[in-house]
């Protein structure tokens, strides 16, 4: 049986806010957030999702949840630093 990986992700809204979550399928989850239906997070009802700006793979749901909690406790500036480093590495 193939092991399912978990991802920690951040989505930036049109207004510039950052949302952090976990998923096994980042592309599907982003589409759910963009669609604004019942599967998308309530967070995006007033400020729609614009782009997935950060992805980090984790070995299991537990590790992903711990990392999500850690990221959510960071200051906005530290979250933006994570996004900046991720985007810079992605370009290379």
Q: Which residues contact 36 (CB under 8 A, 6 or more apart)?
A: 44, 45, 48
Q: What does the buried/exposed string (b/e) look like for 18-37 if buried means 16 or more CB atoms within 10 Å of the residue's CB?
A: bbbbbbeebeebbebbbeee
In a domain, 63, yes or no: yes
Our count of domains for the chain comes to: 1
pLDDT digits (tens, 9 = 90+) for 20-35: 999 999 999 999 999 9
Taking alpha carbons only, the member of 70, 51, 50 closest to residue 8 is 70
The confidence score (pLDDT) of residue 81 equals 97
CATH at residue 62: 3.40.1440.10
Other CB atoms within 10 Å distance of the CB of residue 51:
12
State mean pLDDT over 60-65.
97
- In whole angstroms, give the CA distance from residue 42 to residue 80: 22
Domain containing 77 equals: 6-91
Q: What is the pTM of this model?
A: 0.91
CB atoms within 10 A of CB 63: 14
| Residue 87 belongs to a domain | yes
Please indicate, yes or no, if residue 36 is contained in any of the structural domains: yes
1 inside domain: no
Going by pLDDT thresholds of 50, 70 and 90, the confidence category of residue 40 is: confident
């Amino acid at each position: 049986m193939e092991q399912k990986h978990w991802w920690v992700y951040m989505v930036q809204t049109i207004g510039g806010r950052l949302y952090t979550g976990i998923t096994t399928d980042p592309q599907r989850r982003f589409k759910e957030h963009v669609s604004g239906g019942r599967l998308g997070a309530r967070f995006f009802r007033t400020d729609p999702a614009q782009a997935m700006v950060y992805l980090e793979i984790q070995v299991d749901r537990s590790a992903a949840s711990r990392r999500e909690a850690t990221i959510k406790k960071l200051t906005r500036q530290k979250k933006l630093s994570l996004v900046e480093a991720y985007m810079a590495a992605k370009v290379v």
